[in-house]
Structure 1
Amino acid sequence: MNFQTILEQLQNDKAIPFAIPIFLLAMLVEWYLGKTEHADFYKRKDMFVSLSMGILSGIVEFFPKVLAFIVFYYLHEISPLRDIVGRQWWAWIILFFLDDFAYYWFHRMNHEVRLFWAGHVPHHSSIKYNYGTALRQGVGERVHKFMFWLWIPLLGFDPLMLFIMIGLNLIYQFFVHTDLVHKLPSWYENIFNTPSHHRVHHASNIRYLDCNHAGVLIIWDKIFRTFSEEKDGEKPIYGLTTNIETYNPIRVATHEYGAIFQDVIRAKKWSDKLKYIFYAPGWSHDGEDKRAKTLRKELGV
């Protein structure tokens, strides 16, 4: 497969480009419906950062995506299931679950490995929670993202099919980024990721930290014990535990990498240097342990 063929194949992955006008329309509708109840629901500077992150992440993702497509192609070629798994209806259903499972672990590791968190943290940097926040994608996470899906082509699923499913999953996730929808029917809340569940994920309240990593299905969080219910008496506080107070897109995209570098330089032992890179955010060799799991344990949740 040559580079030209790869680009031609990737051009058939039209899920996200098709959805962009829908995203923009949804943001306009959300702003209109929410402006009376939330006077500052959308803030111009905040929205500028979100749009900048969306554009920048798309640019940065280009080469990792091409490389991933090539790797997926060759893994699919050596799969013993490649002639069994095609694009039958049942294959799409199986792929939906496999992709969503991969996304759960990709997202969870973005919160539990500080180097990965540095690439994901821009998505959580806004103190607003609206459809615009959904576009505030992590830039650095684009580099390591696709390695969490490497095992799926080995099960016989072709790369274009996989990329389409990844895109559809992300489209669903866009619509859980809203404060206007309180709760959906209980049966839906029990199975699927919803605005209520994802508000928890974006909250900086200790009770909610590092919970609800779901893409489409909330069942993964329940199975792997990372689920937290949104409590009526504890409104989510959006943003980071320590907000960065800037609207500079480059600063938003890179600030945590700089913080890791400073901590690595400060640490004397090599074991501590590595822990600053690979342990969860909040770990310190000479200060208070502020990792989410530690804070939640101290709170008793």
Structure 2
Amino acid sequence: MDLTNPLIYGVPCFIALILLEITYSHTHDNEDLYVWKDLMASGAMGIGSAILGPLIKITVLITVFNYTYEFFNPLVDGVRTNIMGYESFGYAWYVFLLCQLADDFTYYWFHRANHEIRLLWAAHIVHHSSDHFNLGTAIRNGWFTLLYKPFFYMWMPAVGFPVEVVVFALAIESFWQFQLHSKYVPKMGWVEKIFNTHTMHQVHHSQNVEYLDKNHGGFLNIFDKIFGTWKELDDDIDVKFGVIHAPDSYNPLVILTHEFKDIWNDTKKSPKFSHKLMYIFGPPGWSHDGSTMTVKQQQRLFKDHKSTSPNTKFSRPN
């Protein structure tokens, strides 16, 4: 049995927790936490990820990680030695902790890149496309992210972390990320000083201007705090989940591909090659003529508007 494969334990646990949340929401909540068409769309994409995940894990992740580990950590006199001269890491308990920290650091930049590079956002927007925040949304994952995610993590086997330890750290990250998608867990006091929690992840899934592109961390929030992307949930703000430009469809294929179609259409707006590259690799919302705004531009406008008219409700510019 492959202990590093989160799907072995994850799928039954995920299904059970979703059913438990559905039951709880029907008996304790007046709002429609789940919309069945939305849940079915999320489920279809989750099933697709569950099918594609192991295939890509074998063909891309394990192959790339093993090749990287072997290349940078050759056997020297029977000892696995990194090319920088030190003995490669083993399987001691502290190696697992260090690897988990390295994983969270990598996840932060992988996740942040998915929000700040439009081509990657086209793959990641799938996860944010639901207007509902629940455990069903947690399995609403884009399929294309599976293709490039391993390349963000290649540095970990390169510096000497065993492949099995890296994959195990990825599994732990997946479990933590799944359970964050619940509205029923309140603020957790001192825990929130260190860990990424449910209320922080509500901020991340919000389309409120002041919350956009915040809280990219995995199970820790320290990297968000270090790099200036941390934001605490404000109880006075009415959170609106989803994305500003939603696919407006429950069709999984539309949800998976709509942003790629929008990129293609945007590249035809200008004949300049540099503009076309920016529409593909620039931040989401970038436009050559100012017709749409990036998140930073929106937040700058929001801040200026609030400073001049603090009691006026701000309307999103695009």
Task: Tell me if TM exceeds 0.5.
Answer: yes
Tell me, in whole angstroms, the C-alpha distance in 1 between the residues paired with 2:152 and 2:96. Answer: 19
Aligned to 1:43: 35
Question: Aligned partners of 1:159 and 1:75: how far apart in 2?
Answer: 9
Q: Residue in 1 aligned with 2:98? A: 94
Other structure's SS at 1:225 match: coil
Counterparts of 1:57-96 in structure 2, within 5 Å, are 57-65=49-57, 66-77=59-70, 78-79=72-73, 80-81=81-82, 83-96=87-100
Give the aligned residue type for 1:15: P
- Per-residue deviation at 1:245? 1.3
1:201–1:208 CA contact under 8 A, matched in 2: yes
1:169-201 Cα deviation digits (max 9, x unpaired): 11011111011112112x111110101000000
Secondary structure, aligned partner of 2:22: helix
* SS of residue in 2 equivalent to 1:96: helix
Match of 2:123 in 1: 119
Give the alignment partner of residue 53 of structure 1, picking from 29, 45, 60: 45
- The count of corresponding residues between Structure 1 and Structure 2 is 291
Contact 1:61–1:143 at 8 Å: present in 2 too? Answer: no
Contact 1:203 1:236 in 2 (8 A): yes
The answer to whether structure 1 residue 143 and structure 2 residue 147 are counterparts is yes
Rounded Cα–Cα distance in structure 1 between residues aligned with 2:292 and 2:39: 33
5 Å matches for 1:134-283? Answer: 134-185=138-189, 187-283=190-286
* Aligned counterpart, 1:18: 9
2:65/2:157 contact within 8 Å kept: yes
Cα deviations by residue, 1:133-189 (Å, 9 ceiling, x for unpaired):
00001222111111110100011112222111101111011111011112112x111
Task: State the distance in 2 between where 1:217 and 1:251 align.
Answer: 33
Check conservation: 1:204, 1:237, Cα contact below 8 A: yes
Structure 1: gaps of 5 or more residues: 1-7
| Conserved? CA contact 1:72–1:158, under 8 Å | no
Shift of 1:12: 4.3
TM-score normalized with structure 2 length: 0.87
Partner of 1:4: none
- Give 2:18's aligned amino acid: M
Q: Is the 8 A contact 2:133 2:183 kept in 1?
A: yes
Q: 1:22 to 1:58 in 2, by over 3 A?
A: closer
Report the structure number with the largest CA radius of gyration. 2
Give the percent of matched residue pairs that are identical in Structure 1 and Structure 2.
Answer: 37
Which AA in structure 2 matches 1:236? V
Counterpart contact for 2:66–2:163, Cα < 8 Å: yes
Shift of 1:209: 0.3
Query: Is the CA contact 1:85–1:157 (under 8 Å) kept in the aligned structure 2?
Result: yes
The answer to whether the 8 A contact 1:16-1:168 is kept is no
- Of the three residues 105, 114, 121, the one matched with 1:110 is 114
**In structure 1, how many angstroms separate the alpha carbons of the residues matched to 2:200 and 2:151?**
26
Tell me, in whole angstroms, the C-alpha distance in 2 between the residues paired with 1:106 and 1:229: 21
Deviation for aligned residue 1:40: 1.6
Q: Structure 1-normalised TM-score?
A: 0.92
Give the 3-state SS of the residue equivalent to 1:300 in structure 2: helix
Q: How far off is 1:266 after superposition?
A: 2.4
Distance in 1 between residues matched to 2:31 and 2:168, nearest whole Å: 37
RMSD (Å), alpha carbons: 1.7
Return the letter of the residue paired with 2:293.
K
